[in-house]
Each structure stands twice: as C-alpha cells, then as structure tokens.
C-alpha cells in the first residue's frame, strides 16, 4: 500500500456523517489515518438522531481498506465530548488530530429567534468545538509532560457567514462561527507549548444540507468536471493542516472550490484622533470623514457572483423574503 500523508495519525472528526465531515473522514482514511467518525445523526436543526449515519461512513471506510470506528455522542454534551476522545484512545491508543466540523442551524430573524434556538446553535457550534478541544488538550498535556513529543493538531471549522458575510437570519450561526475563529487563535497561543497546532478552515459556498436552499447551490457541472461547490473540496485543505509536517498554527483559511485564502480577521482601519475626550458634536463631524462599509453592499459583493444578485434592491428583497419565511415558520416573542 502506498504511504499516505496521514499514516499513523489517529483523527477524531465531529459531524462526520454527512457533508463536509463525511468527505473529510473518507479523505483522511484514504491518506492512512485511523478515524473516529462522530455524528449523532441529527437533522439540520439538531433534532432527532440516527446512529446509522456514522455507522455507514465507517462501513465505507472499512470497505476501502481503512480503519474507523463510530461514535454518536453530541459535542454539546460536555461528557459526550470526553467520551469521544476516550473512544479514540481505547480503539487506537492515541489521538493526534481533532477536526471540529459539527454544526446545526436555526435560521430566523432576530425579532423571532427564541432563546432556546439561539442557545442550541451556540451549544453545538461554539461550546461543542471548545468541549472537544478541551478534553483532547488535557490528554495532550499529559502526554507532553510524560515526554511524548509528537505533533498534535486541531482543525476547527468556521464559515463565511460569521467571518466575511454574516447572513440575515443567521445571528446564532454567524456568531458561533466568528467565535470559533477567535477561539482558534487563542488555542494556538495556549496549546503550542504542548506541541499542538490549532488552525481553522472556513468553507464558502459548499453544497451541504445547510446550503441546498440557497439559489444556485443545486446546480452541478457536467460529469467529469471539477465541481467547486462539492464538499470534497474542503477535505485536502483540512488534511494538510492535520499533517505532522504542516508548520501553520493560528490561521483561518477560507476555502471556495480550488481557492484557499488566508483570512486576517478584524483589522484596524482608518481613524480620527483628538488629544483629549471627544464631544458628541465633534464626533458627529469627524466620523463622517471615515470610509465605512455598507453591509448590504458588502454582502451583495460577496454573494453576487454565485447567486446572480444585482444591487441593493434585490438583496433587500431577498433579506425580506428570508425574514418573512422565519416569521411564518413559527417565530415567537418568547
């Protein structure tokens, strides 16, 4: 068998039953990794559960000659996150890489989004990412203090909705993804002392259950042509970040088809200055001098090429339609 870029690496991938996570699990296994396929098999909104979802990916990996086990714990469960880390240790004797891919969505305008809906998304996207890394980090710290100097890696997953173009009706999803990117940098700074690198991929316009309702996402190229919207395009980037030879840490990489872009996050722009405290009137005059982004224009620019949107009017119509849909689907003031 040919050597793979991940030979000898034990990898835990959350949300690995479908979409991007499934493609990562298959790709990592093909590169020689032993994989823990975590997925409780829930719906897009986090409800329900189906253990056969993770099991099917494991069967596919094993049928191709790879090694994998299934885990159906939820990342939102603090001790469930611990159990999935322990499952890797029991099955394969170690854990080298965590790929945090699990997420859910509850799309509704801020006037209709309920406390429970907001909390559920944050629990999976943000707290879940933290919980899995936390339990993995405790194991890695113990191994490092025992003299084990093996490269370890975390690959988090964010989204363009949160980093580049937060989308209407995605207050919780965008906030969670932005939080994951910030936590990636914190993790890199903290865990490097134990030989752990922490990076993040940010898929943009990938065809998954979460994006199928976006206009244009269901269109596929002719057979045999590269499909830039296929979730498989994310897997090689995540795999590179997981390799022992990768030098990167603290980086957030956007991935759209064959393009990989380094993100620089929030950065300082133009400013006004005064030696002393401002008055409201002074600020009213001076702030007008600063160049600022119009959020509608920025979103139209980010989505225009893919969605065929043209101008602020059409974008506002799309936003209104999304908000109206959220109201009709049961938004409550509670």
- Residue pair 235/242 in contact (Cβ under 8 Å)? The answer is no
Beta-bridge partner residues of 69: 36
Residue 198 dihedral angles phi and psi, to the nearest 5°: -130, 120
- Give the Cα separation of 87 and 160 in Å (integer): 32
Pairing of strands 259-262, 252-256: antiparallel
**Beta-carbon contacts of residue 101 (< 8 Å; ≥ 6 apart):** 13, 14, 15, 16, 20, 21, 24, 157
Please give the structure tokens belonging to residue 259. Answer: 């393009």
Please give the structure tokens belonging to residue 201. Answer: 């991929």
CA dihedral 47, 48, 54, 59 (to 10 degrees): -150
Among 173, 183, 201, 234, the one annotated catalytic:
173
Tell me if residue 173 is catalytic. yes
CA dihedral 153, 260, 319, 176 (to 10 degrees): 10
- Give the Cα separation of 84 and 137 in Å (integer): 13
Query: Please, is 246 exposed, middle or buried when counting C-beta atoms within 10 Å of its C-beta (0-12, 13-18, 19+)?
Result: middle
- Give the Cα separation of 41 and 58 in Å (integer): 13
How many CA atoms does the CB half-sphere of 161 hold within 13 Å?
A: 19
Pairing of strands 259-262, 34-38: unpaired
* CA dist 182 → 106, 162, 200, 230 (Å): 22, 11, 10, 26
Look up residue 255 and give its DSSP letter. Answer: E
Q: Which residues are tagged catalytic? A: 173
């Amino acid at each position: 068998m040919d050597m793979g870029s991940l030979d000898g690496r034990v990898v835990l991938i959350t949300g690995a039953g479908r979409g991007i996570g499934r493609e990562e699990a298959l790709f990592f296994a093909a590169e020689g990794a032993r994989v823990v396929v975590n997925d409780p098999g829930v719906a897009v909104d986090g409800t329900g559960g189906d253990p056969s979802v993770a099991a099917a990916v494991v069967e596919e990996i094993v049928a191709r000659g790879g090694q994998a086990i299934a885990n159906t714990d939820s990342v939102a469960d603090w001790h469930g996150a611990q159990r999935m880390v322990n499952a890797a240790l029991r099955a394969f004797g170690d854990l080298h890489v965590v790929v945090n891919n699990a997420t859910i969505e509850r799309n509704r305008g801020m006037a209709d989004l309920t406390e429970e809906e907001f909390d559920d998304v944050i629990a999976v996207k943000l707290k879940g990412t933290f919980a899995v890394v936390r339990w993995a980090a405790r194991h890695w710290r113990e191994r490092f203090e025992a003299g084990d100097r093996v490269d370890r890696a975390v690959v988090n997953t964010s989204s363009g909705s949160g980093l580049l173009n937060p989308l209407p009706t995605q207050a919780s999803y965008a906030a969670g993804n932005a939080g994951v990117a910030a936590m990636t940098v914190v993790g890199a700074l903290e865990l490097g002392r134990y030989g752990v690198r922490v990076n993040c991929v940010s898929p943009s316009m990938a065809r998954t259950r979460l994006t199928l309702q976006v206009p244009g996402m269901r269109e596929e190229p002719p057979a045999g042509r590269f499909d830039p919207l296929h979730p498989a395009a994310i897997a090689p980037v995540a795999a590179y970040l997981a390799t022992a030879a990768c030098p990167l840490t603290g980086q957030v990489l956007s991935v759209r088809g064959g393009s990989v872009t380094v993100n620089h996050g929030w950065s300082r722009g133009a400013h006004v200055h005064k030696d002393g405290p401002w008055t409201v009137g002074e600020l009213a005059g001076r702030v007008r001098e600063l160049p600022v982004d119009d959020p509608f224009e920025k979103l139209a620019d980010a989505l225009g090429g893919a969605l065929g949107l043209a101008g602020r009017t059409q974008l506002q119509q799309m936003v209104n339609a999304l908000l109206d849909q959220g109201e009709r689907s049961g938004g409550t003031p509670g």
